Amino acid sequence: MNSHDLSERLGELALDLRWTWSHEADALWQQIDAEVWQRTQNPWVILQHISTERLEALAAESSFVAELERLTQTRQDYLETPGWFTAMHGVAALGGIAYFSMEFGLGEGLPLYAGGLGILAGDFLKTASDLGLPVIGIGLLYQEGYFRQIIDASGAQQEAYLFNDPGSMPIHPAKGPDGSWLQIYLDLPGRAVQLRVWQALVGRVALYLLDTNDPLNSPVDRGITAKLYDAGTEIRLLQEIVLGVGGWRVVEALSPQVEICHMNEGHAAFAVLERARSHMRRSGLSFWEALWATRAGNLFTTHTPVASGFDRFPPDLLIKYARYFESFLAETGIEASELLALGRSLPDEGEPFNMAYLAMRGSLATFGVSRLHGAVSRKIFQPLFSRWPEIEVPVAHVTNGVHFPSWDSPGADELWTAACGKERWRGMPDALPALVSRLSNEQLWTMAGEDRRTLIERVRIRLARQLRSRGHLPEIVSGAADVLEPSALTLGFARPFTGYKRPNLLLEDEARLARLLNDPTRPVQLVLAGKAHPADGEGKEMIRRWIELAQRPEFRQRVVFLEDYDIALAQELVQGVDVWVNTPRRPWEACGTSGMKVLVNGGLNLSECDGWWAEAYAPELGWAMGDDREYPKDERDLRDAEALYAILEQQVVPEFYDRDADGMPLQWLARVRRSMAQLAPTYSSGRMARDYVEQYYLAGAAELRRRTADASARARAMRQWEVRLQRHWPLVRIATPTISRDAAGWLFSVTVELGEIAPEDVAVQLYAEPCEGGPASRVELCCTAPNATALYAGSVPDDRPARDYTVRIVPRHPGAAVPAELSLILWQN
């Protein structure tokens, strides 16, 4: 093999981000350049630095070439082997999924993420590749991305924004149908902006990234994609136009077979408008008919636990600033007020345009990221369904999962492979609990010890580098080699430093913390990391306080704060800690996937009963603090701090150090085994992906096909149904029902004046609120006289009083999602 062919083969491997979770080629990259590999763990950077002489030398090594050939064939086998989706559902079941996200966290070689939202998106793309889901990703290529954190000598956070050079990232220009670099154009005020489209390979999945940094654009427009989550309102609006509108145009150009548009948060909601407009052009439908047709293929995942977290824009900015919307209104023939109403809860001219509202109104289904978050989201979205009971606000949930091959340690990978096989995460995890339950105490304890030692070695290296960069004296730097003990109970805490995350809960009683950490026979140690938003002074002060504490003599050997929390550091932490601590203020943690990542490595969770832990926790699996009662903020914080100390002192520490004659903590290891067996399969991204597919993707695609068949006849009929109900709904009346009783229960009879509305267009129901924790009761009444004044009758059990039931009328149409697509409702007086 000559050096040119060798370079091409290596380039194919390095451009496939599968190396972020498949470590088969690690030894190969180490052999090419050990120093660069050690510092970056990024094959593409290695190839950027390799010399011609080194390539020629490697091409002459037969063993190296043979290994490269083997790895190339292994990758090809992976790409060509049908995945779970094809085997289970077949290729015809789904045309494709376009997954839109403002950020993607795949690895440090592609730093286009800020936190959990992006990590979730990256894990989903990896999972889609492993399972063979027909997914493409749509995102933005940022020139700077999120900031890198530097802690100065005073313990203050400083921010550095590094330039993302496309030439040094594992991406390449996306080619259009004609073979040229795909360019997308957007109309903005007074000019057209050219978008470059890049492609990253994630195994079998293509991730397309849009970027405005084209020399043909003005300097201002080149800066639209400069920073992830730019603080400027206008720039943020333009970013979301680029993502939603430009992103859907990429879908149309490269993957027109896509049926499902999955929006990961509301940032991409403008894709709803562009998709409907595009369908309108092709089909000859009106805009509203096209929206009815395409909405069936749109899904919206909300991650936000508070209404203030949604992106909102002033209405005049939306209409007057962006020429895209001027042309949109002209082409679709709708009024500006109609467009703005899609992003508002009320017809209020002053109400901002809410991207989450647009995403919800443009989607067949909306879901949160944990069971508790689904309930919180129903409260948040209640303004869109003002007369509907909160429990019927159409927000479901799919609890997040994590891509365990991206987060497991080498020791954990070896253990799981021996117990469950190498392909364990490329299918559904249903059989794994029984297999993992067979792991022995010796296997688990050996893995934990090795992973903890590895973590401590890496912490010491990172800390020494951090201290040197702060300008500390050599004797201080050398002290990093002595921090932490390989055999001590190690707690991990890493997340954004902000008020509701309560990262300083353990600092409520520093003397008590010192006693806990410095117990001579049962020591505890703590490794922390996390960034504060550049504008979050409170979060920065929390970091400074931990830095100051870690420098005090009584804590120096037991507490380490590591700067610049990123994917690489997160992987090191979750692979080596014994307990992952999470302290959000309930119910502000939408999911909290960081705690899931320790499961595969035998780590245990000690968390507020919030997010995913509220549904996962059981006393035999980990530890929980807090409850679902309402407290004033300060009282809750004090209660939870006390609970955290008490659980550590009375449960976690004794259990870890209670050893048998062989030096093993049997109760601890039993808990680890149960956690690994029961929780890891349940909170894997494979389970999450199956929920997406079987609960939403397949149903959405099937409904989309029905609505667009026969020249979109069904969508046209749905729009006519909507217009008819909107026009005549104010004239509908419900008379006082007649109630009697027989052996079957309560008998209801009620007269309803429908006027111009046909009985088949509505459902007349008896509704009762949930009772004693049970579900709400909905019983449809039968129409016994279908006229303008119709008679409805039905019965319900008499296990609760008749007064609990209220007659109501709601829209009904085959295939329509009510109230998501039409929220009309009328209650009896």
Radius of gyration, alpha carbons of the chain: 29
Give mean pLDDT, residues 204-221: 96
Q: Give all strands of the β-sheet with 559-562 in edge-to-edge order.
A: 559-562, 524-529, 489-494, 579-582, 604-608, 623-625
d(CA 616, CA 580): 14
Domains 84-400+694-707 and 732-827 alike in fold = no
| pLDDT score recorded for residue 324 | 80
pLDDT value at 426 more than 90: yes
Tell me the domain boundaries of the chain. 3-80, 84-400+694-707, 405-683, 732-827
pLDDT over threshold 80, residue 5: yes
Identify which of 157, 148, 61 has the alpha carbon closest to the alpha carbon of residue 108.
148
Q: How far apart are CA 154 and CA 548, in angstroms?
A: 8
Under 8 Å between Cβ of 251 and 90: no
The dihedrals phi and psi of 733, each to the nearest 5 degrees, come to: -135, 145
Whether pLDDT at 321 is above 80: no
CATH number assigned to the domain with residue range 732-827, chosen from the 4 options 2.20.25, 1.10.287, 2.60.40, 1.10.10: 2.60.40
**What pLDDT, on a 0 to 100 scale, did the predictor assign at position 26?**
93
Percent of the chain with pLDDT over 90: 86
Asked whether residue 773 carries a pLDDT value surpassing 90, the answer given is no
Provide the CATH topology of domain 84-400+694-707.
Answer: Rossmann fold (3.40.50)
How far is 527 from 493, CA to CA, in rounded Å? 6
Tokens of 179: 């073979």
**Alpha carbon distance 718, 736 (integer Å):** 31
Both tokens assigned to 56: 């020629």
pLDDT value at position 1?
75
Which band of pLDDT confidence, cut at 50, 70 and 90, is reported for residue 454? very high
Residue 323 scores a pLDDT above 80: no
Query: Tens digit of pLDDT for each residue in 703-735?
Result: 999 999 999 999 999 999 999 999 999 999 999
pLDDT, average across residues 139-160: 92
pLDDT tens-digit map of 292-318: 999 999 999 999 999 888 999 998 888
Per-residue pLDDT, averaged over 238-265, amounts to 97
pLDDT tens track for 558-573: 999 999 999 999 999 9
Q: What is the pLDDT of residue 236?
A: 94
Sign of the CA dihedral with 283 first, then 289, 293, and 295 last: positive
Distance of CA 609 to the CA centre of its chain: 19
- Please tell me whether residue 583 adopts helix, strand or coil conformation: coil
- On average, the pLDDT of the chain sits at 94
* Adjacent-strand bridge partners of 112: 104
Q: Is the pLDDT score of 3 beyond 90?
A: no
Question: Is a pLDDT exceeding 90 seen at residue 320?
Answer: no
Residue with tokens 């009346």: 733
Distances (CA, A) of 121 to 112, 563, 616: 11, 24, 22
Residues 42, 48, 53, CA angle at the centre, nearest 5°? 120
In the structure, what pLDDT confidence band is assigned to residue 785 with cuts at 50, 70 and 90?
Answer: confident
Report residue 629's pLDDT band, with 50, 70 and 90 as the boundaries. confident
Q: What number is the average pLDDT over the span 523-530?
A: 97
For the segment 13-18, the average pLDDT, to the nearest whole number, is: 96
Q: What pLDDT score was predicted for residue 108?
A: 87
pLDDT of the residue at 746: 94
Separation between Cα atoms, residue 691 and residue 120, nearest integer Å: 15
Q: How confident is the model at residue 792 (pLDDT cuts 50, 70, 90)?
A: very high
**DSSP state, 772?**
T
What's the whole-number mean pLDDT along residues 32-52?
A: 90
pLDDT 10s digits, 152-209? 988 999 999 989 989 889 999 999 999 999 999 998 888 899 999 999 999 999 999 9
Percent of the chain at pLDDT exceeding 70: 100
Please tell me the distance from the alpha carbon of residue 40 to that of residue 108, in angstroms, as a whole number: 8
Q: Would you say residue 257 has pLDDT above 80? A: yes
Q: With helix as H, strand as E and coil as C, how does 504-530 read?
A: CHHHCCHHHHHHHHCCCCCCEEEEEEC
pLDDT at 168: 86
Task: State residue 326 phi and psi, 5-degree precision.
Answer: -60, -50
Please tell me the predicted confidence (pLDDT) of residue 626.
85
pLDDT of res. 190: 82
Residues 114-130: pLDDT tens digits?
Answer: 989 999 999 999 999 99
Whole-structure pTM value: 0.96
Position 771 scores a pLDDT of 85
pLDDT of 68 > 80? The answer is yes
**pLDDT value of position 243:** 98
pLDDT band at 786 (very low <50, low <70, confident <90, very high): confident
Q: What would the pLDDT profile of 324-377 be if each residue is shown by its tens digit?
A: 888 899 999 999 999 999 999 987 778 999 999 999 999 999 999 999 999 999
Q: How far, in Å, CA of 708 to CA of 715, rounded?
A: 7
CATH number for the region 405-683 comes to: 3.40.50.2000
In sequence order, which residues have a C-beta less than 8 Å from that of residue 18 and are 6 or more positions away?
A: 75, 78, 129, 201, 202, 203
pLDDT given for residue 38 in this prediction: 87
